[in-house]
Structure 1
Amino acid sequence: MDPAEPRLARLIAERAPRVLVLGDALLDSWDSGQVHRTGRDGPVPVVEVGRRRTAPGGAANVAAALAALGARTELVTSVGDDRTGRTLRRALTEAGVRTDRWVIDPARPTAAKHRVLAGEPDEQLVARYDVLPPAPDKAVTRALADQASTALDEPWDAVLVADYGLGALDGPVRRRVRRARERIPLLVVDAHELGRWAELAPDAVTPSVEEAAGLLGEPVPDHDRASWGAARQHRLVSAAGGGHVLLTLDVDGVLWLPPEGPPRRAPAAAPAPAARACGAGDEFAAAWTAARACDVDPGPATALAQAAADVVVGRPATAVCGTGALVARLATVDRGRLLDHADLLAVLAERRAAGDRIVFTNGCFDVLHRGHVAYLQQARELGDLLVVALNSDASVSRLKGPTRPINPLADRAGVIGALAAVDLVTWFDTDSPVPLLEQARPDVYAKGGDYTAQMLPETPVIEAQGGEVRILDYLSDHSTTAIVDRVRHSPAEQA
């Protein structure tokens, strides 16, 4: 599957689609600390808890993920009148999710998943205990149905159902969604029991392999899950209501089963422990829904959603993926891609927030040679991220003459981006990169050649921003000009 363009991540934030989430909300928590002994009352480690982290889970995590991508999001759910429910509501409010239509149920606790982790910095899961409330009574489900109806009366770009089987979406709520179905431009369902939603003909469903097997009444496959799903494409599409089936494969990525056409695979970025997949399915469903709500085609939307899931898998605990992180992920998928300046700045903001040291260099790089490779390797060693800005074709012509460049900008970017030392490639049309440097604000500006820092117009800009200028080795006999001259004066050329 072709990678999605980084601009699509910004498109979601720019359009800010309106997405309503209906579902079961819960709170994830992690208690962590050191272990120095085992219990006298049993052979178990005693964790001396020193820190607790919490995050929205279930439908609440889906809503938080949508908001992080820039969608205007509301969650309709039910929670208990307890500390857990208040913590969950506060977290979503701070994330920008609308919560004023929640139903508070004093008779039921808020659902929660608690994990106990031992050791630092490499924490190990040693126990988990869940709080699973009983199904809500009829009064609560009716109240939820009324709130859902009121919400569905508003114009939405998409409705995402996150049904974790805790009872919030039983009977009355599902009937209200069915009545409003013709007014819902995009309905996406992420449910443990997909068969309950098939009559609503969802535009897409996002089952795990276990949920897909349950839908078909088959045992869960124990190997080659992608092939298993591909062989059952038409049965899964039909059983789920006729829309797109996005079969999530945990840390192995996703298999897209369209209503028409062949299956297509979006693999995960890299192998990861299954424990790291916590919340990845929620992120995928949120990102796919947000992209489709912005009229992104299903293929690119699937690639974008998998990239967002990759970001979450790469982070500890339940997490969400913001616009900057998604742009950064998409930019690294296609290393030869030319980033426009808006995408570049989004990536740099994300990496800078993570504490990375940013190195910037520039040049024509018209005919790549050993001197370039050595110089770029040196530049990469100065930090955590190397940005190479290429002169545009017009800029090269002004600097080198009308016969240059030999290779156009896109070709030069593809070659430079393929080097292991290079992380990001962008371009500039001016004679010097000063205007771009003023926006990028790198920690290090590297230049290769027979220069001194005082000779460079970039030096005052970098130093005023608190950065440093580094002059790297220069291999004059390997210059592009020398190579071009040798070719032009070769016997074959003269003949």
Structure 2
Amino acid sequence: MTAPLVVVGDVLLDIDVVGSSSRLCPDAPVPVVEQAEERPRPGGAGLAALLAAAGGREVVLVTALADDDPGRLLRAMLERHMEVAALHLHGGTPCKLRIRSGGHSVARLDAGDGQALDGPVGPRVAEAIAGAGAVLVSDYGRGVSRHRAVRSLLGELPPSVPVVWDPHPRGEPPVPGVRLLTPNEEEAARLAAADGADITGFGLPAAGRRGRHLGRSWGIDGVAITLGAEGALLCDGSEAPFLAPARPARGDSCGAGDSFAAEVVGALADGADLPAAVTEGVDRASEFVRAGAAAAVAAQLAETGTARLVPERGEDAWDVVERTRRAGGTVVATGGSFDLLHAGHVSLLQQARRLGDCLIVCVDSDASVRRRKGPSRPVTPAADRVRVLEALSDVDAALVFDDDTPVPLLERLRPDLWVKGADHAGAALPEAETIRAHNGEVILLPLLEGRSTTRLLTTTKGNAS
């Protein structure tokens, strides 16, 4: 796409106040958050625009900004990554302050009543929308999508320009010609009810009925209802809706909807059809949650000022560990040779990943495997074993070690949890002392009975003879 991606919508200032808590306040049953650090970041349409820019796209953000301290801070952060074409925001900049400890929100304070009111838009706003290669409307109910001149400009776009509309219950109905509507499950229910539809129930059946109703009522090609951990359900006029399932992802989901919408509009701009674009959006949102979600964005902006806000494919294990810790997450690690990956391995890795926010696999080198298992092993070289492991959705990264034990590697890695199979119960683990010395813990998990590489090789040899 040579023409820029234009994001139209309401920008908020999100501030994470991050600290640690180990005691309650003496005058009230609330935690005392100590050593607190403020981490400001753009929210709303600002986050969606940043995530689009993080993918290397040229982005223009059409929004409304107030001339107050939060508004000036937002402009400074956003203009590092994109052009900002701003209307005037009447009133104070909307701010959401989250107090966080241990990776969880303790409280949230909202301030700012700013609204974008009708009036002249200025030539740059008009030029930006008219010259868009694709448009994402990120409606947060603060008036940008209600602005009559903005709506008129959006309505004049040719059909070749895909428009994705991410709605808000307090926002406006989409303009004619929108390619895709992207409400979450709660928003879809509220929008359908406000439109007069009496659709009860929950889950996929109800989401499908609401999606079809909104598509027919508003004349939209597609409605993709995001369903959190289940993925997204696309209703596009086909006989049956299309479900794009999400990959497992634990952690804070704040901003996942913006990540989904930003990826979808980019995919449509590149020529993808609706099912392919929705699938890409779900995959990117899963990665975003696994990376620490919106809370991780602030740290990267503050530390680097770069637009790389979500993990790139090919990110190494140390990057994964660093961003997980920066977001207050839990680092889980496990180890082994993983020679001829089998169902027992997969079960262990799935269980391990559910215990934290990233999973690092420590893999024996070829020489290490030979020392322990004999000259005929490994069957598969280390590079191939790592490639197979990292292709699994539950594995964030893998590291190869050449020592007889993973202790030297764990001295550097310092995981919060070190996971082994229950077959090690009662056995001395040389790495346990290292793990606990760095305030970690060793966890044993159940195994699938009868699964092992040695047994698999023995069975294969028996069949061959």
Q: 1:310 to 1:218 in 2, by over 3 A?
A: farther
Larger Rg: 1
Hey, what's the Cα distance between the residues in 2 that align with 1:390 and 1:244? Answer: 49
- Choose between structure 1 and 2 for higher RCO, CA contacts under 8 A separated by at least 6 residues: 1
Q: CA deviation at 1:178?
A: 1.3
Q: 1:366 to 1:93 in 2, by over 3 A?
A: same
Q: 1:50 to 1:480 in 2, by over 3 A?
A: closer
Root mean square deviation of aligned Cα: 5.1
Hey, what's the Cα distance between the residues in 1 that align with 2:390 and 2:396? Answer: 7
Hey, what's the Cα distance between the residues in 1 that align with 2:77 and 2:179? Answer: 30
Task: Give the alignment partner of residue 76 of structure 1, picking from 62, 84, 91.
Answer: 62
Within the alignment, does 1:203 sit opposite 2:192 as a pair?
Answer: no
Q: Which moved more, 1:161-170 or 1:43-52?
A: 43-52
Asked if the contact 1:26–1:110 (Cα under 8 Å) also holds between the matched residues in 2, the reply is yes
Q: CA deviation at 1:59?
A: 0.7
**Corresponding residue number in structure 2 for 1:289:** 265
**Corresponding residue number in structure 2 for 1:302:** 278
Hey, what's the Cα distance between the residues in 2 that align with 1:97 and 1:367? Answer: 45
Any residues of structure 2 matched to 1:29-428 within 5 Å, and which?
29-32=15-18, 36-38=25-27, 50-94=36-80, 96-99=81-84, 101-105=85-89, 108-115=91-98, 117=99, 120-121=101-102, 123-136=104-117, 138=119, 142-143=120-121, 146-154=123-131, 156-169=132-145, 170-182=147-159, 185-192=161-168, 196-216=172-192, 217-218=195-196, 223-270=201-248, 276-314=252-290, 315=292, 317-318=294-295, 343=313, 345-346=314-315, 348=317, 350-351=319-320, 353-354=322-323, 385-386=360-361, 423=395
Q: CA deviation at 1:291?
A: 2.0
Hey, what's the Cα distance between the residues in 1 that align with 2:392 and 2:186? Answer: 40
Asked if the contact 1:311–1:325 (Cα under 8 Å) also holds between the matched residues in 2, the reply is yes
Q: 1:484 to 1:125 in 2, by over 3 A?
A: closer
AA in 1 matched with 2:83: R
Hey, what's the Cα distance between the residues in 2 that align with 1:368 and 1:30? Answer: 42
Q: How many residues align?
A: 385
Asked if the contact 2:200–2:206 (Cα under 8 Å) also holds between the matched residues in 1, the reply is no
Query: Secondary structure at the residue paired with 1:181?
Result: coil
Query: Secondary structure at the residue paired with 2:238?
Result: coil
TM-score (norm 1): 0.61
Q: Report the identity percentage.
A: 26
Hey, what's the Cα distance between the residues in 2 that align with 1:385 and 1:446? Answer: 17
Hey, what's the Cα distance between the residues in 2 that align with 1:369 and 1:112? Answer: 48
AA in 2 matched with 1:209: E
Q: 1:158 to 1:361 in 2, by over 3 A?
A: farther
Q: CA deviation at 1:57?
A: 0.8
Hey, what's the Cα distance between the residues in 2 that align with 1:176 and 1:293? Answer: 19
Q: 1:222 to 1:351 in 2, by over 3 A?
A: farther
Asked if the contact 1:112–1:130 (Cα under 8 Å) also holds between the matched residues in 2, the reply is yes
Q: CA deviation at 1:318?
A: 4.5
Asked if the contact 1:253–1:268 (Cα under 8 Å) also holds between the matched residues in 2, the reply is yes
AA in 1 matched with 2:214: L
Q: CA deviation at 1:24?
A: 1.0
Q: 1:389 to 1:242 in 2, by over 3 A?
A: farther
Asked if the contact 1:251–1:277 (Cα under 8 Å) also holds between the matched residues in 2, the reply is no
Structure 1 spans left out of the alignment, 5+ residues? 1-14, 328-342, 392-399, 426-439, 449-462, 468-476
AA in 2 matched with 1:132: D
**Corresponding residue number in structure 2 for 1:8:** none
Per-residue CA deviations over 1:327-350 (Å, capped at 9, x if unaligned) read 6xxxxxxxxxxxxxxx5x345574
**Which structure carries more helix by proportion?**
1
Q: 1:212 to 1:65 in 2, by over 3 A?
A: same
Structure 2 spans left out of the alignment, 5+ residues? 301-306, 326-330, 367-375, 414-452
TM-score (norm 2): 0.65
Q: 1:447 to 1:60 in 2, by over 3 A?
A: same
Q: 1:351 to 1:258 in 2, by over 3 A?
A: same
Hey, what's the Cα distance between the residues in 1 that align with 2:35 and 2:341? Answer: 58
Q: 1:487 to 1:191 in 2, by over 3 A?
A: closer
Hey, what's the Cα distance between the residues in 1 that align with 2:49 and 2:391? Answer: 37
Q: 1:248 to 1:362 in 2, by over 3 A?
A: same
